[in-house]
Amino acid sequence: MLRISLLAVSISLALLAKSNAQYSRSRETVYPSQIADTGVPLQPFSFKREPQQAQAIQVAYYTPHTTRPAPPISTDEYDSDSSTSSGFDIGGSHPMVPGNRAVLRNGIAYAPSNAPDSVKHAIWAVNSICRRPYVWGGGHGSFHDYGYDCSGTVSFALHYAGMLQSPIPSSDFLRYGERGRGRWVTIYSRHGHVFATIAGLRLDTTDLRYGSDVGPRWHLDGRDAWGFQARHPVGL
């Protein structure tokens, strides 16, 4: 009788343990979406994620090599075609070029080395006023003025050539020096206007391209001398 009771208790405990195991397995439900095609269960998903430390992203940029643009080369409309740097002496304010003819570069006249010193000094002196404006009567009260008219300009050149003591008007150049064209300097005068050619360059206050007075300027082109009388300083 005792054996039967112990056997009954053992069977009851075994059935209870089996029932608890089935209940536990029933709570661990695996859904079809958690099964991969290969039949391997996926890792369980959790909203509790450990924060990851941010890492700096290194980005490389391509920077093209910049080159300084070359400055534009400016040319002067009065420049001579033969005004190359070869043979020029531009030291100080006394620019020179070999030969017998003056050369124009950037509005500045280069005196020919074979010219007399008086001609060279006249050219270099005019270079200092060759950008002054046209002023009627300018250069007559004094050789040094804000602006110059035609006779004031020619008087200025002759003064620094040592050929004129005081400025004179254009009509007085009709009797100046000797008749005809000179070797280095020729003065073309008429009533109301005067200009000169010095070592092959025209010194004039009139710009024939615009037909107006602009002030003392060197020019490469000639000018119609009809109506003008040609005269020259003695010895030049």
State yes or no: pLDDT of 63 exceeds 80. no
pLDDT at residue 51 in the model: 53
Whether residue 187 contacts residue 231, with contact meaning beta carbons closer than 8 Å, is answered with: yes
State yes or no: pLDDT of 60 exceeds 50. no
Whether residue 174 contacts residue 229, with contact meaning beta carbons closer than 8 Å, is answered with: yes
State yes or no: pLDDT of 119 exceeds 60. yes
**48-68 burial: b if 16+ Cβ within 10 Å, else e:** eeeeeeeeeeeeeeeeeeeee
- What is the residue-averaged pLDDT of the chain? 77
pLDDT at residue 100 in the model: 97
Condensed to tens digits (0 to 9), the pLDDT of residues 139-186 reads 999 999 999 999 999 999 999 999 999 999 999 999 999 999 999 999
pLDDT at residue 222 in the model: 86
52 pLDDT band (50/70/90 cuts)? low
79 pLDDT band (50/70/90 cuts)? very low
pLDDT at residue 209 in the model: 84
**Domain residue ranges of the chain, discontinuous segments joined by +:** 134-232
Q: Which residue has the tokens 């006394």?
A: 94
Residue 142: other Cβ atoms inside 10 A: 10
